[in-house]
Every structure is written in structure tokens, then in C-alpha cells.
Amino acid sequence: MMKHWAIGLCFVGLLTGCMSTSPIHWKHPKLPSSQWSGDHQRCKRATDKYLGKQTRYQADLDVGTTDRYAEQMRAYEVAKKQKKLVAECMYKRGYFPMK
């Protein structure tokens, strides 16, 4: 079961990377640029921790299903949710996106 979870998480990570047409770079008007990456990583970890506690998210990471299309759509929806939560976290920290 843990192996399926890890594989699913990798799949979601790859899907997240492929979703956006151009990468979003976060900037903060008052913090040094050396801190930006660390804050982004903290937001990603907090999001993963939050989503890991969600039953539906755990089910979405189960890649043992036989319906590949449904599996991909669930992974896409999870990746969208993850991206949204990371962005909300960055906004709360005072960052704004730059493309």
C-alpha cells in the first residue's frame, strides 16, 4: 500500500510539473530572494501534509485502479488542488506571482 502511495505521489508531482504552460516565480517585495525558495518549499510541504490527511486525496493516490483515464483525471484534479493550496499559502506569506 505504501508503495502505491509513493508511486501515486510521484505521478502527481510529474503531472503538476506538466500542467502549467509557463512556470510561476514567486516574489516578495520585502524579503530577500534567498528566502523565496525556502518559503515555497514550506508551502508545498504544508499542502502535502494537509492533503495527506484528506481521505479523498489518499484514494486519488491509489494507482491500482484499472481505469487509466479515471486514474489520470483524479491525479489531474489532485494536482490542481495542490497548486491552488500552494498559491494560497504563498499569497498569505505576502508573495505575488511573476511569470
Each residue's pLDDT tens digit, 15-66? 555 554 456 889 999 999 999 999 999 999 999 888 886 656 555 555 555 5
More confident residue, 68 or 7: 68
Q: Please work out, in degrees rounded to the nearest 5, the angle formed at the alpha carbon of residue 45 by the alpha carbons of 35 and 43.
A: 45
Structurally, the chain folds into a number of domains equal to 1
Q: Given the C-alpha cell 498559491, which residue does it identify? A: 87
Q: What residue type is 93 in one-letter code?
A: R
The model's pLDDT over 76-99, given as tens digits with 9 standing for 90+, comes to 888 899 999 999 999 999 999 987
The pLDDT confidence band at residue 71, using thresholds 50, 70 and 90, is: confident
* Parent domain of 63: 2-98
